[in-house]
Amino acid sequence: MPIDARRAQNRQASLAASARRIREEEYRASIDAEGLIRVLSAHALGTEDMTDTRVRAALGLLKKVLPDVTEGSMEVSGEVRLVKVRTGIVRS
């Protein structure tokens, strides 16, 4: 394959990857994370009934827009104090 043809092919691949990244960003921006969290919270508290499929779909969409904090790390310097927080949720 001639060098010019290879350069043209690489340029096309680069443009396609760029367009794909833009579409993915637009898709992520269109996901209403706040609404998904609200519905999942209502389901967890028992005020909204959701099927397993709907719960899995909501969680899948949240994974697209929210960072996965389980894989992150953070360095902290100074004094760290643990505080126990009580919620108003009563479980029976």
Over the stretch 58-71, which tens digit does the pLDDT of each residue have? 999 998 888 766 66
Over the stretch 4-42, which tens digit does the pLDDT of each residue have? 777 777 777 777 777 778 877 887 788 898 999 999 999
- Other Cβ atoms less than 10 A from the Cβ of 78: the count is 4
Contact yes or no for 42/48 (Cβ under 8 A) = yes
Question: Model's pTM, two decimal places?
Answer: 0.51
